[in-house]
Chains A and B, each alone.
Chain A
Amino acid sequence: MASTEAYITGLGQSEVGVRLTRAPLLLTVDAIKEALADAGLTVDQIDGVATYPGKMPSFLGFSPIGSDEVIEAMGIKSKWHLGGGEMPAQLSAIASAAMAVKAGLARHVICFRTVYEAAALSRPEEFPPLRRETVDGSSQWTAPFFSISAGTWVAQYAMRHMKHYGMTREQLAQVALNAHRNAAINPKARAIVKEPLTMDKYMSARLISTPFCLYDCDRFTDCSTVVIVSAGDALDEVKTTPVRIAAMSCSVDRYSWDQVEWYAAYETGEDLWKRTDYKAKDVDTIQFYDGFAFLPITWIEGLGFARRGEGHHFIDGGTRIARDGELPMNTHGGQLGAGRMHGFGFAHEAVTQLRGEGGARQIGGDPRVAVATSGGGPMAAALLLAKD
């Protein structure tokens, strides 16, 4: 039977580390077991699995595990599953699961993202690095100019914000400083951030691609993150406080990192508010994709928390986005502080905060509405999450 609503009912996460030796399938199962226990569900009650971007055999560090493998490994009797990269950013896998439960195709869907980039890099014999004689697809338009990391692509949009809108490095730094402050009290971030970050340390750090320095780029991490999406008519089967997926939006304009004038965060942000009665002013916490430090600024503008070209003023000084500020951001440390969980960490943390389970990093005031986003550049996905 179709359900009108979809909820996040279970959260799980494996150990988070750098160069872990535990196999990626086992990390995935660790996270799934934790999410099942959290929700009070058993494997027999799971009937769907979704992941992004699906197993990538030629690039196993980036995505070592597919949904079919999880179905087989855990004996899941699946009625619907999905795994693929041709969707607008990581959280689209969760949005797809929400559509599946609303359509009645499944009742409880495991959504996971497993990353193994640090471990794979350290064990090249087991995880051969991606080596190709030639480049094709979209990378042929950037790699020949040694514009290889997405950091060099995003950097040019950050440079434009500096030139046209007056963003300073000190303002940009607030994303990383906030991330490190929050990661410092997140037990799951111990392997990623070991020392506090100061403005002096930030300003003297090694440059990667201007304006980005080392602290503006997320770090390869090994972990698996899981959320369970359940149908609204199956909530009597779970024991947690359900968090409703109140609105979803995803968009791609040009599937091209250098042809877009404005990143997809802007259109995706506008779309999100068209699909809900909530307004930006109702949001209690924002969990914004920060693979590179400029990206949250595009989300702050795209979702209307600041006007276009003014996002850096919103974070100036860092007080507004701090845990005790008016709009706490990336309270777990984001990817800059808590590791490159590749999108799913933001949904996990948004639900953690709405449930009031953030421990030392829990924000005050009984938060009821959160936004989690993923993606960057020409692709974006956003979830509005509500405890209502």
Chain B
Amino acid sequence: MTVPRPRPRLDADNTAFWTGGKDGRLNIVRCGDCGEYTHPPKALCRHCQSENVSPQAVAGTGAVDSYTINHQPWMPGLEVPFIIARVRLDGVPGVILTTNIVGCGVDEIDFEDKVRVVFEEQDGIWFPLFEKHAPGAAKGGA
């Protein structure tokens, strides 16, 4: 994908999510009272409305809940095909991330594939992408 990724406008709620990759952290807002996660991030817990919430680094691993192979160049210069996926995060019940699966061919992805986060930095935004990995395998790359 040679074109720049559309860039989120950083604000008080989302900065920890979009910049956590600088420190290798995938940050998801968690409630200090009820323990539940809130995503998209907000200044309050969507489960108990407590304001005692803060971004917490999560494991950064998960499984492919669903995916699609995108063939349409939605903007000039966008290289296709590529994988868009919904990733269910380990240890973060109820939270799904839309993302790209990278590092494998578009015909090498399937439901329930184990994946882990890899960050791609662009002008201060750290985009959480995911790559396939076998649990227990030697950790490599980012």
Contacts and interface: CB of A to CB of B under 8 A. Distances in A.
B98 interface: yes
Contacts of A134: 6-9
Contact of A206 (B8, B65, B71, B100): B71
Nearest to A161: B66
The contact size tier of chain B is 35 or more
A133 B65 CA distance: 31
A187 to B, nearest CB: 31
A140 B125 CA distance: 12
A160 B6 contact: no
A148 B75 CA distance: 9
A146 B71 contact: no
Contacts of A276: none
B16 to A, nearest CB: 14
A207 B69 contact: yes
22 contacts: A133-B9, A134-B9, A136-B8, A140-B14, A141-B98, A144-B6, A144-B7, A144-B127, A145-B98, A145-B127, A146-B70, A147-B84, A156-B68, A156-B85, A160-B111, A163-B111, A206-B71, A208-B72, A209-B72, A210-B71, A256-B40, A259-B95
Given A135-B6, A135-B7, A147 B71 contact: no
B84 A145 contact: yes
Contacts of B95: 259
Contacts, number: 105
The contact size tier of chain A is 35 or more
B68 A152 contact: yes
A143 interface: yes
Interface of A: 133-136, 138-149, 151-153, 155-157, 159-160, 163, 206-212, 256, 258-259
Nearest to B40: A141
Interface string B94-117: 111111100000000001000000
A298 B75 CA distance: 29
Contacts of B127: 144-145
Interface in B52-77: 65-72, 74-75
B99 A145 contact: yes
A259 B7 contact: no
Given A140-B14, A207-B69, A209-B69, A148 B74 contact: yes
Contacts of A142: 98
Contacts of A145: 5, 84, 98-100, 127, 129
Contacts of B119: none
B7 A156 contact: no
Given A145-B84, A145-B127, A209 B75 contact: no
Nearest to B84: A147
A139 B7 CA distance: 10
B133 interface: no
Contact of B71 (A153, A159, A160, A207): A207
Contacts of A146: 1, 5-6, 70, 74-75, 78, 82, 84, 100
Contacts of B84: 145-147, 152, 155-156, 209
Among B5, B72, B74: residue with most chain A CB under 10 A: B72
Given A149-B74, A159-B66, 6 more contacts: A144-B7, A208-B70, A208-B71, A209-B68, A210-B68, A210-B71
A135 B8 contact: yes
A134 B129 CA distance: 19
A101 to B, nearest CB: 36
Contact of B96 (A135, A143, A151, A258): A258
